[in-house]
Amino acid sequence: MRMWMVNPNDLCAQHLLGEHLEIHMLVSCINQGKKLTGYIDHGLVELDNLESRHSSLVEEMNKRGMNHKTPLQDYVIPEITGRVDVELSKLTLLYRCSNCRKRRDINE
């Protein structure tokens, strides 16, 4: 599971929908009491930003004409929340995904 935390406008549809799904998965894990320390320690999640990030992704999904029908479940933010290196996320996406590269080139 991963939160890219880059501008949602720069994400291709696959990464936009994927991050949205993974936020729902993270909330489910929190509610089940599962440990997320590996994701936190590796800088893959920001658990205190799940709600705001979900809202940003949904806003972008709506701009693209995608249907959103999955509100975020209630959850309690864990004490340790983590931080994502946004610059590293950008570089990783640009390296891995030609569709994200194209979106970034269009949006610059």
Q: What is the DSSP string of 54-65?
A: HHHHHHHHHHTT
Paired tokens of 83: 């931080």
Domain assignment of residue 37, yes or no: yes
Domain assignment of residue 59, yes or no: yes
Number of domains in the chain: 1
CB proximity list for 12: less than 8 A, separation 6 or greater: 97, 99, 100, 102, 103
Domain assignment of residue 18, yes or no: yes
Residue 63, pLDDT score: 97
Residue 11, pLDDT score: 96
* Structural domain for 80, as ranges: 8-107
Given a cut of 90, whether residue 103 has pLDDT beyond it is no
Q: How confident is the model at residue 107 (pLDDT cuts 50, 70, 90)?
A: low
Domain assignment of residue 2, yes or no: no
Domain assignment of residue 3, yes or no: no
Domain assignment of residue 29, yes or no: yes
Domain assignment of residue 31, yes or no: yes
Q: What are phi and psi of 57, to 5 degrees?
A: -65, -40
Residue 104, pLDDT score: 77
Given a cut of 90, whether residue 6 has pLDDT beyond it is yes
Domain assignment of residue 1, yes or no: no
Question: Distance (Å, rounded) from C-alpha 85 to C-alpha 93?
Answer: 12
